[in-house]
Chain A
Amino acid sequence: MSEEDPSGLGRRPLILSAPALLAALLAQARPADAQSAARRATLVIALDFSDTTTLDPGRVAGYSNPLPTRMAYDPLVTMAPGDYITVRPCVATEWSYLPDGKTIRFKLRDDIRFVSGRPLTAEDVRFSFTRLLTMKYQASQYLAHVDHVAAVDDHTVDFVLKDPTQPLVTIIAAPEFGISDKAAVIEHGGTDIDAANKDTATPWLDQNSVGSGAFRLTGWERNQSISLVRNPTYWAGKPGYERVLIRQMSESAAQLLALKRGDVDVAFNLIPEQIATLKDDPNIDVIRVTSLDYLYMAVSETTENPALTKTQARQAIGYAIDYDGIIKELIGGNATRPAAFLPVGVNGSTDALTKEIGYHQDLDRARQLLKEAGLPEGFSFTLNFANQSLAGVAYRDVAVKVQSDLARVGIRAELAPMDMVSMYAAYNAARLQAVLGFWNPPAVENQLWASATVVRVAKRLHWDVPPDFTQLVHDAAAERDLAKAAAMWREYQVRMVGFAHLFVLIQPIYQIAVRKSVSGLKITAAGWMAEVDAARPV
């Protein structure tokens, strides 16, 4: 071999220069200084908002879009974080039923202005609700008992109900019932007459907000970010941050890295294992909030499986499941569970009640119930579940745990994983014997949970609901005295436990990681995740 380079390509091949080139690029292109003034004045929230399909309050119906909607629009009434029973004033200062028994009159604040500068009036309230009702989208379903909304004077508005026994005030605390600036909506194609077919404001409202909230929506880059700026004239006080940026981050590991590096201030979707790594981090706090969401197992009475038609057999399932083990082992103790279908935290559902009347593992009792059902050797059924997870717990792991618990008393659960869409379609068509499902109502109103059990869920489970039980749900929802209603909801849960159709397994305690450079951020389980107006940079 001669000393001369045989290839003629040089001693320092081109390939070696490539990494050097990249390093030079990176060195030159440093990320912006995270501590810059603009960064400090911006609250950056990492959230998986891939389910967001619109930010038009009339069409908001999802898990993540209530957060920016609540930031930009004020509802008539609200609920304080941690108290999901008492309805508090927001745009409305007071409300009461008129003597006719079917009209609720709201008195409005007179010092609220929209981001346009126009004052918020009763006509804006009437327009917002009428637009939503005639839009006939998801949110309008929850107000099907509202006949019409009428402006009495500039600061008084009446809601006239078709069915006065149905609740209203708790439902309209949800962010989709925020008040829009009528003139601004109309200017961009909105209408309250046959909005389902004639309203064309949604594309504009996806990018701009017309509310009176603490922040104003300035843009939504799909699958990328939602940006809001401070409303400097916010009636409840100047918000602490100039700007709020909600960043799409589907991957919890990426959220964790960005949070630790200080590129984001709040991470909503960390799983328990990742939260555990933050325990000793001097820069990060973890806020725990008991959610109102839960994972449950529904068991059908379908005649396809005669064993499941027997109440004792279903009750045996209830007594065979190791609920404490599921919560302790699968989710690290970061969950609770209600006795029946009303989550802990709403009127009439507490942890104490779960201990008192809820199912707990009692294998002897389960075996005894199987004997009483004429099934001493147990029975088989199919348990369907989707490829989903809740608070980092895969449904598959829950299904496997339930299967092994049931096997101890001779009940054989055959696990049947499905894709989510197909499974819910089959469940909706009442074709499944048992499913693991997720429940997350649009507003904190017991009736939304309870009426579902006796109507929609009952159909899916081939459950012939006793009329007096349906009446109980109706009466409890109609009861306006909270203490009396709580007693009736207790009765509802006692009977639900007896029917043994629905077993709530995990009501997670969500853990939100927040950098200590942020103070005052309030996390809520009421449906809009956080109240950001009081948050400030430290």
Chain B
Amino acid sequence: MIRYVSSRLVLAVVMVLLASLVIFLIANSVPGDPVLLQLGDLGASNPVMVAAFRHKWGLDLPLWDRYWIFLDGLFHGDLGNSIASRRPVLADIIDYAPATIELASCAFLLSLVVGLPLGIIAAVRRDSWVDHIARVVSLIGVSAPAFWLAFIMLAIFYGQLDWAPGPGRLDPVAFPPDRVTGLLLIDTVLAGDWDTFHDALAHLVLPSIVLASATLGLITRTTRAAMLEALSQDYVRVARAKGLRRFVVVLGHALPNAMLPVVTLGGLAYANLLSGAVLTETIFSWPGLGRYTFQSAVALDFPAITGMTVVIASVYVLVNLMVDVSYALLDPRVVRR
């Protein structure tokens, strides 16, 4: 098991470095120039200012020197400074990450809580009304664009029915708790501020549903398909023949064997949610990594773009590693092979 995990860890580090190199090359081959955006129209026409700016940000160095400086910083835990915000990229990411982690985790939890049971029941009661509902929910979840769903949800549940609060992480006049983790649900509990906890929770509901919709659809469909296959296996027939209750057969025998594809998909879906959702974050005024990445890309903020790539690649690699490990736990044959 240790060998299995360590070999994947080494592979993970190589993958992150490769991803950073690729994005570094792509970002630097774009014909645009961050100078104009940062110095403005007048500043960009002043050669002295332009030269000073390029020198300050290392834009006058050869590409490979810049990449080497980036790698050197990376090994020392430094992602460089953002050209746009003039702060360390890591500080920016630490500022924005909690909002994304909180939203992504809630959305993922929601899609698991709803998607797994729905998929299981849809498989057990094939072609029943539950199955039909599961199919419709999956279809809407997978096919409805996030921005459309976000507007519809806001217009109905916030604008018309007044059941949910509007965009943002907190009510406009609510005071955020002292920052400990940056996760409002946790920080408010730590501060014992239950009113703000409820407020933060309420603000999470609509964006979580929107973000969860696509993941939920995928998880429901995959669970259903995997369960249908598992339920048709001989060991399930034997278990039934032994007189075990259907409950035990479905959840105790079929489900663990159907989990491999669901875990794979779930892992990727969670990594996808964690890497930020630009549209959902934009519409719900959610200060997360998705918008930060988007703004960095638009401003050609090379250090921020490369730093975010490393973070996103690391998230994917880490989640995949966890998925690999969970394979080994779910199916010991994986390690033996």
Specify which chain B residues have a CB less than 8 angstroms from the CB of A44 in the assembled complex. Answer: 172-173
Contact of A254 among B46, B172, B250, B284 (CB under 8 A): B284
Assess the A7–B247 pair: CB atoms within 8 A: yes
Q: B231-258 toward A: CB 8 Å interface, digit per residue (1/0)?
A: 0000000000000011110100000000
A243 to chain B: which residues have CB within 8 Å? 173
Q: Shortest beta-carbon distance, B137 to chain A, in Å?
A: 9
**What's the Cα separation between A8 and B201 when bound, in Å?**
33
**Cβ A223 vs Cβ B171 within 8 A:** no
Report chain A residues within 8 Å CB of B110.
18
Looking across the interface, which residue of chain A has its beta carbon closest to that of B155? A257
Contact A202 B130 (CB under 8 A): no
In the bound assembly, the distance between CA atoms of A428 and B300 in angstroms comes to: 16
Contact yes or no, A31 B199, CB < 8 A: yes
CB distance A8 to B250 under 8 Å? yes
Q: Which of A254, A419, A456 contacts B154 (CB 8 A)?
A: A254
Q: Does B132 contact A (CB under 8 A)?
A: no
B34 to chain A, nearest CB (A): 7
Give the interface segment out of A259-267, A283-291, A296-304, A466-474.
A259-267
Count of residues in B whose CB is under 8 Å from the partner chain: 76
Q: How far is the CB of B94 from chain A (nearest CB, A)?
A: 11
Does A138 have its Cβ within 8 Å of any Cβ on chain B?
yes
**Nearest CB of B to A23, in Å:** 8
Chain A residues with CB under 8 Å of B168's CB are: 224-225, 247
Is there an interface contact between A9 and B32, defined as CB atoms closer than 8 Å? no
A31-B202, A249-B285, A421-B300 given; A428·B36 CB < 8 A: yes
Residues of B within 8 A of A5 (CB): 246
Give bound CA distance, A452 to B171, whole Å: 44
A203 and B87 contact, Cβ closer than 8 Å, known pairs A141-B42, A260-B159, A428-B44: yes
- Asked, given contacts A13-B117, A249-B285, whether A456 binds B247 with beta carbons under 8 Å apart, the answer is no
- Interface check B54, CB cutoff 8 A: no
SS class, residues of chain A in contact with chain B: mixed
Residue on B nearest A31 in the bound complex, by CB: B165
A171 CB to closest chain B CB, in angstroms?
12
Give the distance to chain A from B57, nearest Cβ to Cβ, in Å: 13
Annotate A437-477 by CB proximity to B: 1 below 8 A, 0 otherwise: 00000100000000010011001000000000000000000
0/1 per residue, A26-55, Cβ < 8 Å to B? 101111100010110010100000100110
* B39:A138 contact, CB within 8 angstroms: yes
Q: Which of chain B's residues have a CB closer than 8 A to the CB of A26?
A: 163-164, 202, 205
Are B283 and A251 neighbours in the complex by a CB distance under 8 Å?
yes
CB A445 to nearest CB in B, in angstroms, measures: 12
Question: B135 interface residue, CB < 8 Å from A?
Answer: no
Which of these binds chain A: B262-270, B291-299, B317-325, B328-336? Answer: B291-299
Chain A residues with CB under 8 A of B46: 141
A402 part of interface (Cβ distance < 8 Å): no
- Chain A residues with Cβ under 8 A from B43's Cβ? 137-138, 141
**A50 in contact with B172 given A8-B246, A141-B43 (CB within 8 Å):** no
CA distance A200 to B49 in the complex (A): 20
Mark the stretch among B16-24, B60-68, B118-126, B307-315 that contacts chain A: B118-126
Tell me if A221 counts as interface (CB < 8 A to partner B). Answer: yes
Partner of B96, one of A8, A141, A222: A222
Assembly CA distance A355 to B87 (angstroms): 49
The answer to whether B205 touches A54 (Cβ under 8 A) is no
A1-16 with Cβ < 8 A to chain B = 5-9, 13-15
Do A224 and B30 contact each other (CB < 8 Å), given the known contacts A6-B246, A29-B199?
A: no
A38 close to B285 (CB less than 8 A):
no
B residues less than 8 Å from A442 (CB atoms)? 40
Contact: B36 with A261, CB < 8 Å? no
Q: Which residues from B are CB-within-8-Å of A261?
A: 158-159, 162, 166
Closest Cβ neighbor of B284 among chain A residues: A254
* Least CB distance, A257 to chain B, in whole angstroms: 5
A30 to B164, CA, bound (A): 7
Known: A54-B86, A258-B166. Is A7-B121 also a contact (CB below 8 A)?
Answer: yes
Choice from A25, A251, A263, A452 contacting B172 with Cβ under 8 Å: A263
* Also in contact, A222 and B45, with CB within 8 A (given A22-B205, A425-B31, A425-B36): no
Whether the Cβ atoms of B124 and A421 lie closer than 8 Å is: no
Distance from B134 Cβ to chain A, minimum over Cβ atoms (Å): 8
CB contacts (< 8 Å) of A202 on chain B: these are: 86
CB distance from A374 to the nearest CB of B (A): 34
Given A245-B173, A248-B285, A254-B283, A421:B37 Cβ within 8 A: yes
Q: Does A426 contact B (CB under 8 A)?
A: yes
- In the complex, residue of chain A having the shortest beta-carbon distance to the beta carbon of B172: A44
Q: Is the CB of A7 within 8 A of B250?
A: yes
Query: A253 on the interface (CB 8 Å rule)?
Result: yes
Set B40, B85, B117: member contacting A138, Cβ < 8 A? B40
Asked if residues A8 and B245 are in contact (CB atoms below 8 Å), the reply is yes
B261 within 8 A of A: no
Beta-carbon contact of B202 and A421 below 8 Å: no
Contact between B95 and A222 (Cβ–Cβ < 8 Å)? yes
The answer to whether B282 has its CB under 8 Å from any CB of chain A is yes
Which of B31, B158, B173 is in CB contact (< 8 Å) with A32? B173
User: Known interface pairs A138-B43, A251-B285. Does A421 touch B205 (Cβ–Cβ under 8 Å)?
Assistant: no
- CB <8 Å contact, B287 and A136: no
CA distance A28 to B84 in the complex (A): 41
Find chain A residues with CB under 8 A from B125 CB.
Answer: 7
B91-120 vs A, CB cutoff 8 Å, 1 = contact: the mask equals 010011000000000000010011001101
A36:B173 contact, CB within 8 angstroms: yes
- Asked whether, in the complex, the Cβ of B287 is within 8 Å of the Cβ of A424, the reply is no
CB distance from A31 to the nearest CB of B (A): 4
What residues of chain B lie closer than 8 Å to A224, measured between beta carbons? 168-169, 285, 287
B124 touches A18 (CB 8 A): no
Q: Which residue of chain B lies nearest to A137 when distances are taken between CB atoms in the complex?
A: B43
Is B84 a contact partner of A53 (Cβ separation < 8 A)? yes
Smallest CB-CB separation from A431: which chain B residue? B31
What are 8 A-B interface contacts by the 8 Å CB criterion? A5-B246, A7-B125, A8-B248, A29-B202, A222-B95, A248-B285, A251-B167, A261-B166
- 4 more CB-based (< 8 A) A-B contacts, given A44-B173, A138-B39, A221-B176: A28-B198, A138-B42, A141-B40, A224-B169
**B-binding residues in A (CB < 8 A):** 5-9, 13-15, 18, 22-23, 25-26, 28-32, 36, 38-39, 42, 44, 50, 53-54, 61, 136-138, 141-142, 196, 202-203, 221-225, 243, 245, 247-251, 253-254, 257-258, 260-261, 263-264, 419-422, 424-426, 428, 442, 452, 455-456, 459
Q: Return the 7 tightest CB-CB contacts between A and B, nearest first.
A: A8-B247, A421-B32, A29-B202, A31-B165, A29-B198, A223-B287, A224-B287
